[in-house]
Structure 1
Amino acid sequence: MLYKKHIFICTNQRPEGARMSCGESHGLALVAAFKKHIKDKNLNAEIRAQKAGCLEACEAGPSIVIYPEGVFYGNVQVTDVEEIVSEHLENDRVVERLVLDFNKLPWYAKLNK
């Protein structure tokens, strides 16, 4: 495995008038913040952050997912990045307050009725 952890940050941009999208809610700013914090902590050889298309969590966006754990975070703000890097990426502790609850997403709730 090339990286110990891989972060995908939704930067999907939908047309005006469509349902919300993470790109509109500063997805690219999150990518830049993650890359900066990872580099500042000299973690860039083992952790990769990159933009991604839709993660199907628009209503909880901006959203990210961290692998190999497969932990989804929702409503992630630039001010949350330092905590995610420190807690999850460096210390393997999930930031519970940001964990995305798929049961609260309309499309997922319909699937599981």
Structure 2
Amino acid sequence: MSDPKPYFEAHVFVCTNRRPDGNRRGSCAAKGSEKLRDYMKARARELGFDGRIRINSAGCLDRCELGPTMVIYPEGIWYSFHSNADIEDILQIHLVEGRRVERLMLTPDQQTLRPEQQG
């Protein structure tokens, strides 16, 4: 049996995890991810993505120091974003055109503080 067709063309997970103020790792929510996620969802509706592309909140994606962060599947591309302009680029370049927003991409070698390093 072959795999079924994906339910969504793309699935975007936006970290909205919130840690207590002063936490060494910070949190995406404290860096504005909730407001930016809301903007992305509204723009996706305006662009007619309903039913094809799903934008979800996610708990901690474990790259807090680099945040706010998101990951887009099925490609598994990670982005750090900070403004509505960044969101517009991700929507247009990645989700419409199928290319990558290289200036916002995160790579696996970009380190974050692991729990044992938090002290």
Give the TM-score taking structure 2 as reference length. 0.84
Partner secondary structure for residue 17 of structure 1: coil
Pairing 1:82–2:88 present: yes
Task: Quote the residue 1:111 is aligned against.
Answer: none
* Whole-angstrom distance in 2 between the partners of 1:81 and 1:94: 13
Q: Which runs of 4+ in 1 moved over 6 A?
A: none
Q: How much does 1:106 deviate?
A: 3.7
RMSD of aligned Cα (Å): 1.4
- Whether the 8 Å contact between 1:60 and 1:75 is mirrored in structure 2 is no
Deviations 1:60-80 (A, max 9, x none): 100000000000001442321
Partner secondary structure for residue 105 of structure 1: coil
Number of equivalenced pairs: 108
Task: Quote the residue 2:17 is aligned against.
Answer: 12
**Considering only CA atoms, is the larger Rg found in Structure 1 or Structure 2?**
2
Partner secondary structure for residue 109 of structure 2: helix
Task: Quote the residue 1:27 is aligned against.
Answer: 33
Task: Quote the residue 2:69 is aligned against.
Answer: 63
84, 89, 99: which one aligns with 1:93: 99
Deviations 1:30-88 (A, max 9, x none): 21111111111111110010110111111110000000000000144232111110110
Question: What fraction of aligned residue pairs are identical, expressed as a percent?
Answer: 38
